[in-house]
Amino acid sequence: MMRVEDNTIVAGGHGTDLSFPSLPVDILLHVLSYLSVLDILSLRTTAKPMYTLTRMHAVWYNVMLFEVLPMDIPIPGLYSRDMSSLSASDLEHMIVRALRLRKNWLSPSPRKIKRTEIVPLPEEESRDTLRGAVIRFLPGRGNRYLLTVTGHTNFSRRRYTVQCWDLEASGGPKRVAVRRFTEIVSVAVNCDPHASGVLSVTCKVEGNESVQPATFIHALDLDSPDQNPEYAFKYLNHFPGCRRLHIFNGSLLVGTNESDAVRVWDVTTGKVLYELRDPTVVQPSVCVNAVFLEDTNFLILFRTISLEVYMLPHSSSSPSMSSPSSSPPLVSPDSGLQVVHPVVLHKWQWRIDSVSVSFQMKSRQRYTSRLNTSATTAKGKGRQYEPTTMHLFMRFDSWFPWPVNLLHHFVLHPNPSYIPGPKSLTVPPSASPITTKTHTLFPSLLNPLTDLPYLATPDQTPTLVSSLSSTVRLFAPSDMVLGEWGTALWLDTQTEMWGVSGELGQRIAGRVVVPSGSGPSRGVSMTDPEGRLVGTSEVAGHDADAEAADVNVIDNPPSTLGSSFASATRQVPPAQTASMTFGIRDAGASRKSEDDDEVANMGGVVVTGAGRGGADEWMHLGLDEEGGRIVVGRNGGRVEIWEYV
């Protein structure tokens, strides 16, 4: 029989010692399974045997598996690492950091632990007017690499510098790749981290008679750390016709041409595969976003007036999705391209200006490959796509030069009767679409009740969960991003306490619109960075409007189609405000010193002076929830990284 004695775990025989440390290890581990994290850390300080016990790998692995993961919160530093291969101290460190990050992240004024500034082109700041254009994390690499695009305005034809930064390099962010372009129109980063092409850039290219857009595809070599950054981007291909890029996934690129027609390109050949068109309209509306559904040939387009679901005849990631028995392709008489119609669409009540999309997923699903258990390994083999709740964070458009001063959170629940598997699109002849006020089902031999992941019936429509006040001053920059863990982050000019725009200044605010999990069965307590006790509810930090929607929308999605689905998802809470304010920039604030921008506190929020670049210096946002980081692109080309753990 094993027991804990002094600093080692030894075998012991029968005896009369009935002290707690003398109990068998399996019983001690079972007892510890009922303790909170704070209780485990407190128990460690009572005796040497307890110190040894609480340092065991099994203790923290169980805490991670049964307590932290059910909370559905990001775990900093885990990324693609295998949990079973981590030491006990590594697991303990990750758990403590995850709980402290969640506490800080969900506070009304999250406290920046560290602020780092990237100066993309220090040698050119004094002689050129720079402007930050794009900031993007490279997917699938633990958000280690950040892509920045900086514009040079002192040229007749504007030049741009694209750079890739290693944020985890020793000594601070290090530039690992750089390439220069002229007249960039649009940029997209490949969603598939395993694809050869990483970056797609559309530029204006001068032809014999006119200027035409051309898209350039580049690979990125990150495996040679000692190479010259000038040679890290590798040219692969280029082709004409694409003006605005929407999504780059694998070998497929979705974008619009000069006539706002949405097309799909194969980047390896540069050829147009399909043109995506709604046959019910003559003039296509503008496409503002697009997403591929993982491991399927479904593509969702977000236009200004509609949400459209397409099933592409071909999927590069899964060729078996297409079938030779499909109907002959429809060819456009104007362009000669194969035309694909949506299988279903939803019309918005108002025109939308912009939208960010996130799919709700449990921590166990996100970290399945990291658990390395027999159950998860067996489940991962031959895994088929299962649709999850889609969260939409959007701003509607208006007839004025600025969008509506409200942000809206919609949820779109998946079709509960959807059956995964290969599907082919066959259009029956002489068939008409089935149309209601906001829902249109186009003719095909698909069974909508089992073959469509979303919008299977007129009742399965996006449901408004909350509306958030977010005013934007005329001509002021604005941006928003919705993270995969449910954090909505936005940039606006609502700097006044009563919810209106100030004459000058900017605000970076946020709200967790996707609720955390139900949490562990026992209370997970932790201390905040100042050492104060943090309870489970504070750590999990359920959002107010998310909790209001939990009862009918999030935790209890209906299991049947029809009216029950509609009635269960029609509750609309009143308008809300931001629950987290990460920063306020006040152009009228005076500096404390030449090197310190932070000048005052307004309700616990650090107010920053105007500095270089004027009042509207913040331009773009980037979000890394798992690492507890926010990236802010500034007007002068500089980039700030705010860390909260």
Token representation of residue 84: 């079973």
User: Which amino acid belongs to residue 493?
Assistant: T
**133 φ/ψ sector (left φ>0, alpha ψ -120 to 50, else beta):** alpha
Q: What is the DSSP string of 73-114?
A: ---TTTTT--GGGS-HHHHHHHHHHHHHHHHHHTSSSPPPSE
What pLDDT digit, counting tens, does each position of 560-602 carry?
333 333 333 333 344 466 789 999 987 555 444 334 545 455 5
User: φ, ψ for residue 633 (rounded to 5)?
Assistant: -90, 130
Considering only CA atoms, which of 350, 327, 332, 515 is closest in space to residue 426? 327
- Mean pLDDT, contiguous 10-residue spans, the chain (645 residues): 50 58 86 89 90 92 86 82 83 92 93 93 79 89 92 83 93 93 93 94 83 93 87 94 93 93 94 92 90 91 95 57 49 73 93 93 72 49 76 90 86 92 65 85 84 92 91 89 93 77 84 68 44 40 40 34 33 59 73 46 56 70 94 92 94
pLDDT given for residue 526 in this prediction: 42
- Residue 124 and residue 178: Cα distance in Å, rounded? 15
pLDDT tens digits for range 188-232: 999 999 999 999 999 998 876 778 899 999 999 998 878 899 999
Q: Supply the pLDDT for residue 370.
A: 63
Contacts of 46 (CB under 8 A, 6+ apart): none
CA distances 417 to 449, 511, 570, Å, are 6, 32, 20
Residues 360 and 356: their CA atoms lie apart, in Å, by: 13
Instruction: Give the torsion through C-alpha atoms of 536, 624, 634, 177, to 10 deg.
Output: 160
* Contacts for 381 with CB less than 8 Å, ≥ 6 apart: none
**Which residues in 99-124 are b (16+ Cβ under 10 Å) and which e?**
bbbbbbbbbebbebeeeeebebbeeb
How many angstroms separate the first and last alpha carbons of the chain? 42
- Give how far the C-alpha of residue 411 lies from the chain's centroid of Cα atoms, to the nearest Å: 15
Please, are residues 179 and 218 in contact by the beta-carbon 8 Å criterion? yes
Give residue 95's pLDDT: 92
Instruction: Give one DSSP letter per residue of 423-488, joined into a string.
Output: ----PPTT---EE-SSEEE---S--HHHH-SS--STT---EEEEEEE----TT---EEEE-TTSEE
Cα atoms in the Cβ-side hemisphere of radius 13 Å centred on 574: 0
Cβ atoms within 10 A of the Cβ of 391, count?
23
**Phi and psi for 62 in degrees, rounded to 5?**
-65, -40
- Reduced to 3 states (helix: H, G, I; strand: E, B; else coil), residue 203 is strand
Q: Is the pTM of this model over 0.75?
A: yes
Q: For residues 37 and 142, give the distance between their C-alpha atoms in angstroms, rounded to a whole number.
A: 26
Q: Are 268 and 213 a contacting pair, CB within 8 Å?
A: no
In this prediction, residue 535 carries a pLDDT of 41
Place of tokens 């799919």: 359
Distance, in Å, from the CA atom of 206 to the CA atom of 213, rounded to the nearest integer, reads 9
Q: What is the structure's pLDDT at 614?
A: 52
Burial class (CB in 10 A: 0-12, 13-18, 19+), 208: exposed
Residues in the chain: 645
Provide the angle, in degrees to the nearest 10, between the axes of the packed helices 37-44 and 88-105.
Answer: 130
Give the 3-state secondary structure of residue 148. Answer: strand
**Number of neighbouring beta carbons within 10 Å of residue 240:** 14
Supply 450's token pair.
């089992």
User: Would you state the pLDDT for residue 571?
Assistant: 37
Phi and psi at residue 321, to the nearest 5°: -70, -30
pLDDT at 360: 84
Give the pLDDT confidence score for residue 497 in this predicted structure.
Answer: 64
Give the per-residue SS3 of 60-78.
HHHHHHHHHHHHCCCCCCC
d(CA 541, CA 484): 17
pLDDT score, position 424: 66
